[in-house]
Amino acid sequence: MQSFIDVNGIQNFVVNIKVNGDQHTVFVKANTLLVNLLRELLNLTGTKKGCELGDCGSCTVLIEGKPVNSCLVLAVEADGRSITTIEGVAQNDKLDAIQEEFISNAAIQCGYCTPGMIMSAKALLTNNPHPTEPEVREAIAGNLCRCTGYVNVVKAIMAAAERSKEG
C-alpha cells in the first residue's frame, strides 16, 4: 500500500478496493473508517451509520463474502479486497430474493437496520442456503432493530431460503 504525507503533514494512504464489482482507488487518512469511505468518498449511502461502536450492525457489509461492521474496519484494512454493499445485492436491476422477501413479509419498518440485516442474511444464505430458524436468528444476532421484533425478518429470510430450494 502506498502512502504519502499531505501539505498539512498528515499521512495518507492510497487504497485500492473493489466495491460491488467496480474497482476504486481512493486516498484516505490513516484513521478513515470503511463506512466513511463508502458513504462519503464513493457515495454508497445504503450502508448506514448507527452506533459507530460495532454494536448495532446497521453498517454491515461483506468483505470477501463475510459480514463485518464497517464502522470497525479501517479503510486501509480493506486495501486489495472485495466489498459488497447493499447497493451490490440487486443484480441487473432485479432485486435479490432476500430483498423481495423482506418486502413481501413486511420485514421493513423504519428501514434503518434493513441494509445491515439483508447483508447478514445474504452471507448466511450464500454459505448455508437452507438454514434452520435458530441459524437465521444467530446470523442476524449482531443486527439490532427497534421496530420489527425480528419475527418478520426471520420469516423473510426463511422464505428466501425456501425460494432457493424451489429453484
Q: Do residues 96 and 141 make contact, with C-beta atoms less than 8 angstroms apart?
A: no
- Answer yes or no: pTM beyond 0.85: yes
Name the segment(s) of the chain with CATH classification 1.10.150.120.
97-166
pLDDT of amino acid 86: 98
What is the rounded CA–CA span in Å between residue 47 and residue 38?
Answer: 8
Phi/psi of residue 152, each to 5°?
Answer: -70, -30
Say what the pLDDT of residue 4 is: 66
Q: Please list the residue range(s) of the chain that carry CATH number 3.10.20.30.
A: 3-85
Query: What is the arithmetic mean of pLDDT over 33-40?
Result: 98
Asked whether residue 167 carries a pLDDT value surpassing 90, the answer given is no
Q: Where are the beta strands (DSSP E) in 6-115?
A: 11-19, 22-29, 60-63, 66-69, 82-84
Cβ contact 67:73 at 8 Å: no
More confident residue, 106 or 10: 106
* Residue whose C-alpha cell reads 484494512 in the numeric block: 77
First-to-final CA distance of the chain: 43
Alpha helices in the chain (DSSP H): 34-36, 97-104, 114-127, 133-139, 151-166
Which residue would you say has higher pLDDT here, 95 or 109?
A: 95
Which is more confidently placed, 11 or 27?
27
Q: What is the 3-state secondary structure (H, E, C) of 69-83?
A: EHHHCEHHHHCCCEE
User: What's the CATH code, domain 3-85?
Assistant: 3.10.20.30
User: What CATH superfamily is the domain 97-166?
Assistant: [2Fe-2S]-binding domain (1.10.150.120)
